Amino acid sequence: MRFVSFFVDGKSLAVPEVLKPPDVSAVPVSFHKLQVLDTPDFSEVSPFSAELQASLSGKLLLFEELPYSIDVIHEHYLNGCLAYEKGIEEAGGSFVCKRCGNDKPRLFSSFSCFRCKEKECVYCRKCLVMGRVSQCTPLVRWCGAELEWKLDEVALTWTGELSAAQRKASDGLVSRVGGKGELLIWAVCGAGKTEVLFYGLERALKTGQRVCLATPRTDVVLELLPRLRKVFPGITLAGLYGGSEEKLDGAQLVVSTTHQLFRYRDAFDLVVVDEVDAFPYSYDSSLEHAVHQAKKKDALIVYLSATPGRKMKKRAVAGGLPHVKIPLRFHGFPLPVPRFVWCGNWKKRLKKGRLPGNVMNWVEHQLEVKRQGFLFVPSVVALHQIVALLQAVFPGIEGVHAEDPERKEKVMKFRKGEISILVTTTILERGVTVPFTDVAVFGAEEDIFTESALVQIAGRAGRSKDDPAGEVVFFHYGKTSAMVDAKRHIEGMNREAGL
Amino acid sequence: MNYCLYCDEGFYETVSWSFVLGIAGEMHFCEGCSSSLERIEGEICEICGRSFSLFPEQYRQENRCNDCIHWEEDVNWRGVLVKNRSLYVYNDFLKELISRLKYRGDAELVMGFRQEFRKIYQHEFKGFVVVPVPLSQERHYERGFNQTQLLAELLGVEVEHALERVLHEKKQSKKSRQERLEMKETIFELANNSKLVYGKSVVLVDDVYTTGATLRQASRVLKEGGALQVSSMTLGR
Ligand SMILES: [Zn+2]
Ligand SMILES: [Zn+2]
Ligand SMILES: [Zn+2]
Ligand SMILES: [Zn+2]
């Protein structure tokens, strides 16, 4: 869009073209062509909209994301309650998106713009899902009075017990709340990490901090929301994920997918990043960028992981990253250690329409002893072949992959025990927990099965205290270091737990 | 290494691929996305250009589909639109893609269709005056651009804005087919430079042909402005 700018009291004010005072002769220009961009001084006395304050505090939004008319927005700008920022910054012919941090030339493009009348209005292609940021679209942030919460209503009503290992981690977190920096909570799969957060969250919320729990996956947001609502009944809580309806603005505790964090800026005193090693967080540095932008400068970032990546592990071991470990599962039993089984050239066999004999035996055995099983496979192509071959022989076998339209239903059926063996790609390496389940990996030597993926996969077994000794088998055609490292990782955790 | 215009997956343009498709140096979509685009080929309805292979035999008579037969039986609409030609089947993938283009405002996406869109123009409508279906002012401002104009500009010939949209279009998609067919009110009128179409063959450009009602509305207005004959081309059908 276009703005006119002119000086008032030594400040260069930006006024949307449509609100241009008739006596001003300045020519409207595209937002990014404004030479100087000032924000009027904040005046304590002028009234402001509390709703606008709630929707905008700690965020960086497009005009169209605010349910207010341009007049209201402009009025708040004049009162010094909100400021405009460039969405696309240009330096030396290259561009940076100020919302998502994208600086890859191929992810910028331009169009002849009807709003600003520029022949080439450059826009960011990377964060389009959140509404297009182009050169002529300002990003708006709140710079008026700060949000306040009803702190006397904050209380933790949880009555559960922490295990000794959980307690230690919890204390470690509580002692750091209020400080800045980083903390890694390195907890085995099944350690009960959410409970470990409760006392730390309580402390932060009671002292008026704004807190964010960020996770790469929508299902985790959905799972956490009711649990948190139950244990923190007095607080304002919002859950954000792609397509979420609920957007309680100005909530003190925000549970969000990492993607949604792009809308926040300098907002949180405490950010907990769940599954910090998980796709897509680890693969997409822009999400890391999102976390760093969303937090306040002096915030505390807490990373949760069962399998921290190489870099993070190195920093932790070298002492550069404060961390607490929970090597023990909540039920106190050791993690199942994977067994390696050579299964020959399975690719060749699949081509001939056959499966390795020992894999067939594994499936048959599971069915015989009536134990459910996950069979992890390296690709969707392999998945289809394997499922077809198994279904021809055994009943109750299904396959599932990321694009599968029946994904949710199949996982549900597996949980209910209606599917005996679920053949799956790595999409189910995390999160899905079903008691009395064994796990096998098919083609464990494939690159997709990294150390962390294999540890997570192994972590699907033996989750319940009634069945702590689930079995884990890696069928392979040549041992890889990832497999060896995964085994070592699990044994190390068990040793550390004194088991 | 190329990066897919739609999913940003990196891919290599293999010689064989570009040879087969005859589009060396112009692979914009990765193999996965390319294969989700269903090119309209084989037998098509001679009027609306939809592929006969996609619907049961009883919905066609000779070279026309039943919808087009209805249009041509109606004296008000007979011959108003000579023919429509489209590149791809309007499947879920193309729907997604077009909605990202229009509603998310990803203008760059049209670049993936330049070569093929040009081919249709050269083959079917060479020398025709190109007129994009216009948006209302409000919509145009909201989106920042008009996707049909971007598509028209791919053709490499002069684009004439001979039409204007008068009424703010109500949510087209919310109306039933019947309502759309009966739409009596004028939604287009001739723009100032409409004399450019006088006595000419015109091809309208739109993103998708769904019922054909919008294109026929536009076409009728052009014919009232003196156009000799009007056809249309779209990305999806
Ligand atoms: Zn961006
Ligand atoms: Zn613009
Ligand atoms: Zn692609
Ligand atoms: Zn037809």
DSSP structure string for B114-143: HHHHHHHHHHH-TTPEEEEPPPPHHHHHHH
pLDDT tens profile B184-213: 567 899 998 778 899 999 999 999 999 999
Whether B102 and B147 have beta carbons less than 8 Å apart is answered as yes
Q: What is the ipTM of this complex?
A: 0.89
Report the separation in Å between the CA atom of A245 and the middle of ligand 2, taken as the mean of its atom positions.
29
Is the four-CA dihedral B102, B107, B111, B114 of positive or negative sign? positive
Residue indicated by tokens 């190109």: B130
Both tokens of residue A20? 């241009």
How many Å apart are CA A238 and CA A255, to the nearest integer? 6
Mean pLDDT over residues A237-254, rounded?
A: 81
Given this model, what pLDDT does residue A469 score?
80
Q: Is A41 left (phi over 0), alpha (psi -120 to 50) or beta?
A: beta
Residue indicated by tokens 């055995």: A365
Is the four-CA dihedral B73, B74, B75, B77 of positive or negative sign? negative
Given this model, what pLDDT does residue A245 score?
64
* Mean pLDDT score across all residues of chain A: 90
Given this model, what pLDDT does residue A152 score?
87
Given this model, what pLDDT does residue A78 score?
92
CA distances from A111 to A193, A324, B111, B149, B209 (A): 48, 51, 12, 11, 24
Whether A98 and A139 have beta carbons less than 8 Å apart is answered as yes
Which pLDDT band, with edges at 50, 70 and 90, does B10 fall under? Answer: confident
DSSP structure string for A113-179: -TTT--S-EEEESTTGGG---BTT-EEEEE-SSPP---GGG----------HHHHHHHHHHHHHBTB
Residue B105 with chain A: CB contacts under 8 Å: 111, 123, 128, 132, 134
Residue indicated by tokens 């959905």: A222
How many Å apart are CA B196 and CA A78, to the nearest integer? 48
Of residues A299, A293, A273, the one with CA closest to residue A176 = A299
Residues ≥6 apart with Cβ < 8 Å to B41: B51
Given this model, what pLDDT does residue A434 score?
80
Cis check for the bond before A405: say yes or no (omega within 30 of 0): no
Question: Which chain A residue has its CA at the smallest distance from B99's CA?
Answer: A129
Of residues B167, B99, B97, B105, the one with CA closest to residue B136 = B167
Residue indicated by tokens 């290599």: B12
pLDDT tens profile B110-121: 999 999 999 999
CB contact under 8 A, B145 and A111: yes
Question: Which candidate in A104, A111, A126, A286 is best for mutational testing of the B interface (most B CBs within 10 A)?
Answer: A111
How many Å apart are CA A322 and CA A199, to the nearest integer? 18
Residue indicated by tokens 């249709």: B120
Give me the residue from A112, A121, A125 closest to B106, CB to CB. A125
3-state secondary structure of A292: helix
Q: Which ligand is nearest to the CA of B62?
A: 4
Give percent above pLDDT 70 in chain B. Answer: 86
Which pLDDT band, with edges at 50, 70 and 90, does A334 fall under? Answer: confident
Report the separation in Å between the CA atom of B234 and the middle of ligand 4, taken as the mean of its atom positions.
14
| Chain Cα centroid distance, residue B228 | 20
Both tokens of residue A59? 């965020």
Q: Average the pLDDT over each of A192-201, A234-243, B181-190 and give the range with the smallest value.
A: B181-190
Cβ–Cβ pairs < 8 A, chains A and B: 39
- pLDDT at residue B22 above 60? no
Of residues A89, A71, A104, the one with CA closest to residue A137 = A89
pLDDT tens profile A66-102: 889 999 999 999 999 999 999 999 988 899 999 999 9
Residue B82 half-sphere exposure toward CB, CA atoms < 13 A: 16
Residue type, A258: T
Of residues A211, A205, A223, the one with CA closest to residue A155 = A205
Residue A107 with chain B: CB contacts under 8 Å: 8
Report the separation in Å between the CA atom of B102 and the middle of ligand 3, taken as the mean of its atom positions.
18
Helix segments in B137-227, DSSP class H: 137-143, 147-153, 177-182, 213-224
How many Å apart are CA B80 and CA B179, to the nearest integer? 19
pLDDT tens profile A362-406: 999 999 999 999 999 999 999 999 999 999 999 889 999 888 888
Question: Which candidate in B108, B135, B149, B151 is best for mutational testing of the A interface (most A CBs within 10 A)?
Answer: B108
pLDDT tens profile B122-173: 999 999 999 999 999 999 999 999 999 999 999 999 999 999 998 655 555 5
pLDDT tens profile A417-460: 999 999 999 877 776 778 889 999 999 999 999 988 899 899 88
Q: Is B105 left (phi over 0), alpha (psi -120 to 50) or beta?
A: left
Given this model, what pLDDT does residue A493 score?
86
DSSP letter (8 states) at residue A325:
E
Whether B43 and B51 have beta carbons less than 8 Å apart is answered as yes
- pLDDT at residue A258 above 90? no
